[in-house]
Structure 1
Amino acid sequence: MSTFERYLTLWVALCIVVGIALGHFFPSVFVAIGALEIARVNLPVAVLIWLMIIPMLLKIDFSALAEVGRHWRGISVTLFVNWAVKPFSMALLGWLFIGWLFRPLLPADQIDSYIAGLIILAAAPCTAMVFVWSNLTKGEPHFTLSQVALNDAIMIVAFAPIVALLLGLSAITVPWSTLVLSVALYIVIPVIISQIIRKNLIRNGSTARLDTLLTKIQPASLAALLATLVLLFSFQGEQILAQPMIIALLAVPILIQVYFNSGLAYLLNRASGEEHCVAGPSALIGASNFFELAVAAAISLFGFNSGAALATVVGVLIEVPVMLSVVAIVNRTKSWYEAGPAVSRNAAQRPRSESSAS
């Protein structure tokens, strides 16, 4: 790990402060940047996400994707947490904290809207950013790509019914243009670009040129992560300074949700005997949110100035720093994880099963 990566938490904190300050002192500049969007997908942020995830996608050999089935435990755990636990646990946390404990401290006419925003935020698993989190935990890239693709497919049919069920609506307005464009921008196009580059760099089975490129562009990937953080906080700098108490209160159930779901996925993977390189991204995918879709859906349903929109924006603001803390936990507990009985047993059996399969 480089010195820069070792102090990543410090750089994140500085970027948050810088972003809020820039948004406060130069609001018109960042309003203009924030307006550069199509179907509520911000194009500058999309470009930065490309810079973040393409280096990770370059590592993926599509011919090896067929082997991802051996990680069925991790896939099962992630799907269970994403679709059977996460939206419902957020609904419970929203009703507990926003609807009850914090009710006297919040605008009475926005209580239901805040809860709705939290539910919308939790109902869609993250797409692009999980490649960054997976890379930081040395996660298995083929598992990460296949899991993201599977979640995207499920999201198309499950997002609307789950949100409608939990919000008590007969029907919801799904911003399909945002969903389709986000998947295309953050998954399809970067995958195509990365595979074209990978194919051109690998000659006669040698990966030397690819390895050299990856070494050179890795710092650019982390720099793009920090620049994204500056942009996200600068977009909302005025809101943060204008209503810090509301944002802090909304952050409480989101924080609990992230740590609960990531911890649940991590522990279930350990109990099932899954490898650590799969458990890490599984925990991170299980906890992160597709904030572009969440913000767009909240605005479509409740309006730009609604409590629901603000709640989803709070999810955007804390996504990067909180997920980095989960990354740190996953990395620091690797020895404990691999000492688990099921993990140790499967690790001892794996060489024999793999050799017999070959």
Structure 2
Amino acid sequence: MKKKMKFFEKYLSIWVALCIIGGFLLGKIFPQVPKTLSKWEYANVSIPIAILIWLMIYPMMLKIDFSSIKNVGRNPKGLIITLTVNWLIKPFTMYFIAYFFLKIVFGNIIGVELSSEYVAGAVLLGAAPCTAMVFVWSYLTNGDALYTLVQVAINDLVILFAFAPIVSFLLKVGNITVPFKTLIFSVVIFVLIPLIVAIITRHYVIKNKGKEYLERKFIPKFSTISIIGLLLTLILLFSFQGETIEKNFIHILLISIPLIIQTFLIFTIGYFWAYFWKVPHSIAAPAAMIGASNFFELAVAVAISLFGMNSGAALATVVGVLVEVPVMLTLVKIANTTRKKFKKA
């Protein structure tokens, strides 16, 4: 039976496009809204945006079963591929590809200041491997659900320690200085705290209602909340981006080019590595998808914290959201079409 995505997930790019339009109109017609909201911040973190991003991140953290880590020794090849591609290859290829296109190829069109911010946004995407949507990609490619849980759980733990140093290093290479404390603070606020709250919630619900209730009834209740949080975040974000978009609408297309190239490159590296290493397709496909896809919720949150809601970095991370679903669905189709090749491997 052919597997299908849920309605909201399948048309996520359309919702993002509508949010771009809605946010743009909101900023134009009611400019007092973004001006008022911009005053509500603490330590460079927008409080309204922080709340909405929590609504996005907490539900996805609920899905992660850290007890699955005990299965880490089962087929270690898949995990080695995931960790190597995600943390030793992906952030650096993203930087070089984004720098080449946004600073060199399109530099004269974009301008020096904005091109640097766009590269910064791309780096934030590149250093944040997927946490939530990978469960969808795994499902659509008949991936091993339990092993995907292991891969995601391990990656989330690595994010806590590796995200800030890698981002800080790559931005310094690109002559972009950001406060390391703000990076650490963002990881604590948008990863560590919701992760801890989700772990406590899982333990409490399982203890009182059982694991089946958690997975079949409790977690699904939050799926819609997560989508709403994402869409409202994008509307607010683009209410601040109105002037930037009006002047540089073509930039959205230019930003998408290196992001799309990077996605195909990372998938190809992980997928072919798994093929030649004779990893089962049910593990190979999700392993390649985790690196190809992005934890865009974290990237958006950190971009706003570091550069502001009307920044080019924030715009670049949202373009990542815009292109992700159609590109990843293309990769899902490639993975499903080549499944039989792995049986012969």
For 1:28 and 1:277, the matched residues in 2 are separated by: 50
Residue 186 to residue 114, structure 1, CA distance change in 2 (3 Å)? same
Contact 2:95 2:170 survives alignment (8 Å): no
Match of 1:354 in 2: none
Measure how far apart 1:146 and its partner are.
Answer: 1.7
Match of 2:66 in 1: 62
Match of 2:218 in 1: 213
Which AA in structure 2 matches 1:125?
A
For 2:104 and 2:293, the matched residues in 1 are separated by: 24
For 1:66 and 1:232, the matched residues in 2 are separated by: 40
Which AA in structure 2 matches 1:110?
E
In the superposition, the TM-score normalised over structure 2's length comes to 0.76
Residue 223 to residue 148, structure 1, CA distance change in 2 (3 Å)? same
For 1:60 and 1:91, the matched residues in 2 are separated by: 29
For 1:29 and 1:311, the matched residues in 2 are separated by: 20
1:317 aligns with 2:323: no
For 1:195 and 1:54, the matched residues in 2 are separated by: 15
Aligned counterpart for 1:144 among listed residues 130, 152, 157? 152
For 1:310 and 1:209, the matched residues in 2 are separated by: 39
Which AA in structure 1 matches 2:301?
E
Unaligned ranges ≥5, structure 1: 347-358
Percent of matched pairs sharing the same residue: 26
Residue 90 to residue 68, structure 1, CA distance change in 2 (3 Å)? same
Match of 1:228 in 2: 233
Measure how far apart 1:240 and its partner are.
Answer: 1.1
Q: Render the CA deviation track for 1:203-246: whole Å, top value 9, x for unaligned.
A: xxx62465233444433333333333333333323321232234
SS in 2 for 1:21: helix
Aligned counterpart for 1:260 among listed residues 257, 265, 268? 265
Match of 1:293 in 2: 302
Which AA in structure 2 matches 1:72?
P
Match of 1:280 in 2: 286
Residue 294 to residue 229, structure 1, CA distance change in 2 (3 Å)? closer
Match of 2:205 in 1: 197
Contact 2:24 2:241 survives alignment (8 Å): yes
SS in 2 for 1:131: coil
Match of 1:133 in 2: 133
For 2:63 and 2:293, the matched residues in 1 are separated by: 24
* Bigger Rg over Cα: 1
Q: Render the CA deviation track for 1:52-101: whole Å, top value 9, x for unaligned.
A: 44444444443332113325333322333333333332343244323332
For 1:115 and 1:56, the matched residues in 2 are separated by: 27
For 1:268 and 1:100, the matched residues in 2 are separated by: 31
Contact 1:178 1:296 survives alignment (8 Å): yes
Measure how far apart 1:334 and its partner are.
Answer: 4.3
For 2:59 and 2:286, the matched residues in 1 are separated by: 19
Contact 1:78 1:283 survives alignment (8 Å): no
Contact 1:261 1:287 survives alignment (8 Å): no
In the superposition, the TM-score normalised over structure 1's length comes to 0.74
Contact 1:46 1:186 survives alignment (8 Å): no
Aligned counterpart for 1:80 among listed residues 77, 84, 109? 84
1:38 aligns with 2:42: yes
Measure how far apart 1:151 and its partner are.
Answer: 2.9
For 2:178 and 2:227, the matched residues in 1 are separated by: 37
Which AA in structure 1 matches 2:217?
T
Which AA in structure 1 matches 2:315?
V
Query: Segments of 4+ in structure 1 off by > 6 A?
Result: none
Match of 2:162 in 1: 154
Contact 1:52 1:221 survives alignment (8 Å): yes
RMSD: 3.5
SS in 1 for 2:132: helix
Residue 38 to residue 70, structure 1, CA distance change in 2 (3 Å)? farther
Unaligned ranges ≥5, structure 2: 140-144
Measure how far apart 1:144 and its partner are.
Answer: 0.9
Match of 1:173 in 2: 179
